[in-house]
Amino acid sequence: MKIFNTIDWIAWAITLTHISAVCLDRLAAIIFYGRYMLLVSLTKIRYYSIFCWIFFIGQNIILLLSNVCCMIIPLQNKEYYTFGYQHFLNQTNIYIYTYTPLELSTIIIISISNPIILIQLYKRWKRKCALQQLVFFFFVFQIYYKKNFFLTQHSHIELTRKSMQKASRQQQRIVLQVIFP
């Protein structure tokens, strides 16, 4: 039972630290968008994970060998079974003092970073939508401008042709007036 509890506490500690790390990683990726690759690398992540495993395995082995823990055992309640701490009269549960700060820090990190991440992702999505609308607006404007340009060019060419015809007719009249006074 003690070995099971030790493995359970190790898994809980690794879960908490890695949940916090993932939240902080996503927060760093959003906040430090361009410099993220300089701040976070695969080597740093690997060292962090190895450090967490070594630290919590060592800590729990020391606590197991020191016999300073209260075991988590099934406790009988009136209506159901629940898990709780086995209480001894002369023993302090060191796990409460060891893991409560870790649990609280994880809750704080999650409660602070997740809303910031969601807000930043929402702002990025809104910018993306605005850019897409702007691109669409420029596309429509460009089509409209080209259409008007071609219409203007076409009407300009038409006006030039008509004015040339008019000038040509005037020249013909002048020539006819000179020939037949």
pLDDT digits (tens, 9 = 90+) for 148-178: 655 555 566 676 777 777 777 777 677 667 6
Domain count, the chain: 1
Cβ-count burial of 36 within 10 angstroms (0-12 exposed, 13-18 middle, 19+ buried)? middle
- 101 part of a folded domain: yes
- 103 part of a folded domain: yes
For residues 47-52, average pLDDT:
90
Domain around 35: 2-122
pLDDT digits (tens, 9 = 90+) for 65-94: 877 666 665 555 665 555 555 555 555 667
pLDDT score at 51: 92
Indicate whether this model's pTM tops 0.75.
no
- 86 part of a folded domain: yes
- 156 part of a folded domain: no
